[in-house]
Structure 1
Amino acid sequence: MAELLKLQQGVILRSQAYDCGVTPEQLRWLLNSNRWRRIHAGVYASFTGPLPFESQVWAAVLRAGRGAVASHRTAAYLDGVCDDPGDVIHVTVPADRHVGSRIDGVRVHYSRHVHRTRHPTRLPPRTRLEETVLDLVDSAPAASEVEAWVTRANQRRLTTPGRIAAALRLRKRIRWRAMLEGMLTDVAAGAHSPLELRHLRRVERAHGLPRGTRQRRVGERRASWIDVDYDEYRLRIELDGRIGHIEEGQFRDRRRDNRATVDGRTVLRYGHADIFGDPCGVAAEQACVLASRGWTGRIRPCGPGCTVAAA
C-alpha cells in the first residue's frame, strides 16, 4: 500500500485499500481519526493539509474509473503547455461507459479513442500532448484560442507541427479543421506566436507584400532571432508581445535595433494593437519602406473596406 500511495501521490481508492488488506473497520478508524480523509466517493487522501494539484488529478481519475485519463486544460498544465490549470479538473473516459453521479470540481468528457490517445507512461494518467492540443482546439470557442494553444505548444518546444498534423489525420471530426491544417503549415514555416501568424496572414499575404524570412538567426557570439527579415530590402520586422517590452527584453531589443541601424537596416516594430487592430495600416507602412528600398511590387487591398489605398 505504501508503494501504491507513493505512486498515486497519496491518494487511494477504497477497493485498492481493501486489496492491500485494510478492513472496513480499519478504514472507518483511519477516517474518524482524521489520518485519512475523503476526497470523492470511495476516494481518500492518506494525509491532511493542502491537496497538491497532482493529488487532485489522481483523485479525479480514480473516481472516474476504468480507463479514465486527465485531459484538456488539466493535461496541458501537467505537460507545461499552460501555466494555469483552471478551475476544474478535466478527465476523459471511454465512451462505452458512463460516470454515474456528478463529481465535484471535475468535468468529464467521453471519447471512443481514449485507448489510443492515452500517453503510455506518464503519471497521473493523461492524454498524449498532441491529443491534448487537439482536444483544446476542438473545444475552443474562438479562432484566437486555436492559435494560442497550437503556437504555445510549439513555442515551448513541447511538440512539432508535424506531430500535431499526424495526430490530426487520425481524427475524423474536429472543429476548426481547415484553419488548423493551414495554421500547422504556417507554424512549420517559422511563425511561432499568434502575433506572427496574424502578421503572416493579414499583413503580408493579404496585401501581396514580398515574403519575409521568419525566425532568422543573426550574429555569431551573441546570436539573436529576427521575427521577419526582408534581407533583399534591408528591412526587419519585430513583433513584440508584452514580454518583449519589459526588463531585460527591453534592453536586448534596443541593442539589436541599434546593431541593425549601424548595418544600414530599418527596423519596424509592432505589437498586438497594431497587427490585430490595424493590419491594413501596418501593410501600407511596410510597403512604403519596401518601395523606398527597391521593391517594385504593388500592394493590393485585402478586401472591401481595406484602407491601404488611402494610406
Structure 2
Amino acid sequence: MDLDGLMATQHGMISRAQAIACGLSTRRIEWLVTSGRWRRVHTGVFATFTGPLPFEARVWAAVLRAGRGAVASHRTAAFLDGLCDEPGPVVHVTVPADRYVQCKIEGVRVHYAHRLPRTRHPSKSPPRTRLDETVLDLVDIAPHPRDAEGWVTAACQRRLSTPERLADALRRRKKIRWRPMVEAMLGEVVEGAESPLELRHLRRVERAHGLPAGCRQRRVAGRRVIWVDVDYERYRLRVELDGRVGHVGEGRFRDRRRDNRATVDGHATLRYGHADVFGDPCAVAAEQARVLTARGWTGRPRSCGISCRIPTHDHQ
C-alpha cells in the first residue's frame, strides 16, 4: 500500500518504519515534523495532520507504537464496537505474549495474550479483538461480580452477541476470573434477564424466596407492542425493573402510560429500582408475595436466611 493509502486507512497516522518502506528518507520525515506538517504522537509514530486527534486516530497511534501484532482490546475495543458509550481515559492494546513493549507508552495500557492470533478480528479497522473475546477480557479484569455481569448483559442487550456465542468463547478459555458465575449467568440470560438488575431480581428475589417463575422480557401486543420485564401472567402481575437508562424524561411518562393501561386491563404493576433490588431483596420478595397471594397464588414464600424478612415456616 502506498503512503496516501496507509494514511487514509490509519486515520492519518503513520509509523516511521511504514514511511520509510513507502520511500521517505529519515531526513524527509524529520523535515515534515520540524516544519509542522507532521507531529510526533509517540516514539516513531506521527500524525500527518494538525488539530485534535479523533479517537480512532489515537487508537491507531497506540497500535502502531505497540508494534507487531498489536490490537485494540478491552474497553477500547468495546467502545469501537458499541459495547459501551465511553472509551475511558486510556487506550487499551494487547500484544502477543512472545514479545514485550520496552518503554511505557503515555496514555496507553498494554496487555499481553498467548491467544491473540485466535482472538483478534480478521478485518476490522482499527485492528481489535473479536467482540466475544472483548467481553471476556473485560470480565477477566472486572473488580466486582456486578461489573462482570454488566459486560455480559450489555453484549446481549445491545444485540452484539448471544449467550451461546459467549458460552462458546468461554469454553475456549483455560483461565478466566468469575468463570462459575458467568457460566451460570449465561443460562439466566437465555431465560431473558438482560441486565444486572434483572439478574439480581431473578436470583435474590424470585428464586431465593421460592416465588413462582415469571416470564422475562415478554412481548405483549396490543395497540402498541410493549415489553414486560417480568410477567406473572397467571396472576395478572407485572414487575418492571427500572435502571436509569430509558426511565427518565419521556421514558418516565411512557412507563406511567403503560402502567395505567395495564391497570385498566386488570393487571397490577410493581416497579423496583436498583436501591430496592440490590438494597433489600427480601422486602421486594415479601411485597411481591403479598400481591401474588392476593391474586390467587397458593404457594408460600420461603426465607432465604437468618436475617430475611420472610419468616421461616415449619412444615408439619
Which of 67, 81, 84 aligns to 1:82? It is 84
Which of 160, 165, 168 aligns to 1:166? It is 168
Task: Give the conservation status (yes or no) of the 8 Å contact 1:260–1:266.
Answer: yes
Q: Displacement of 1:215 after TM fit?
A: 0.6
1:249 is matched with which residue?
Answer: 251
2:107 is matched with which residue?
Answer: 105
SS in 1 for 2:245: helix
1:183 is matched with which residue?
Answer: 185
Alpha-carbon distance in structure 2 between the residues aligned to 1:6 and 1:243: 37
> Counterparts in 2 of 1:247-286, with a 5 A limit?
247-286=249-288
1:227-246 CA-to-partner distances (Å, cap 9, x unmatched) read 00001011110111123432
Alpha-carbon distance in structure 2 between the residues aligned to 1:170 and 1:82: 24
What is the aligned-residue RMSD (CA, Å)?
1.0
Structure 2 residue 184 is the aligned partner of structure 1 residue 217: no
Tell me the amino acid that sits aligned with residue 65 of structure 1.
G
Q: Displacement of 1:265 after TM fit?
A: 1.0
Which of 144, 147, 150 aligns to 1:145? It is 147
Alpha-carbon distance in structure 1 between the residues aligned to 2:65 and 2:230: 49
Give the TM-score of the pair, scaled to structure 1. 0.98
Task: Give the conservation status (yes or no) of the 8 Å contact 1:61–1:69.
Answer: yes
Task: Give the conservation status (yes or no) of the 8 Å contact 1:237–1:269.
Answer: yes
1:291 is matched with which residue?
Answer: 293
Task: Give the conservation status (yes or no) of the 8 Å contact 1:244–1:253.
Answer: no
Which of 6, 14, 21 aligns to 1:19? It is 21
SS in 2 for 1:173: coil
2:197 is matched with which residue?
Answer: 195
> Counterparts in 2 of 1:225-244, with a 5 A limit?
225-244=227-246
1:20-50 CA-to-partner distances (Å, cap 9, x unmatched) read 1111111111001000000111111101110
Runs of 4+ in 1 over 3 A off after TM superposition: none
1:272-302 CA-to-partner distances (Å, cap 9, x unmatched) read 1100001000000000111111111111111
Alpha-carbon distance in structure 1 between the residues aligned to 2:277 and 2:62: 41
SS in 2 for 1:130: helix
Alpha-carbon distance in structure 2 between the residues aligned to 1:220 and 1:9: 48
Tell me the amino acid that sits aligned with residue 281 of structure 1.
A
Give the TM-score of the pair, scaled to structure 2. 0.96
Alpha-carbon distance in structure 2 between the residues aligned to 1:24 and 1:64: 21
Aligned length: 310
Tell me the amino acid that sits aligned with residue 16 of structure 2.
R
1:59 is matched with which residue?
Answer: 61
Alpha-carbon distance in structure 2 between the residues aligned to 1:286 and 1:50: 54
Alpha-carbon distance in structure 1 between the residues aligned to 2:27 and 2:276: 67
Structure 2 residue 311 is the aligned partner of structure 1 residue 309: yes
Q: Displacement of 1:147 after TM fit?
A: 1.1
Structure 2 residue 141 is the aligned partner of structure 1 residue 125: no
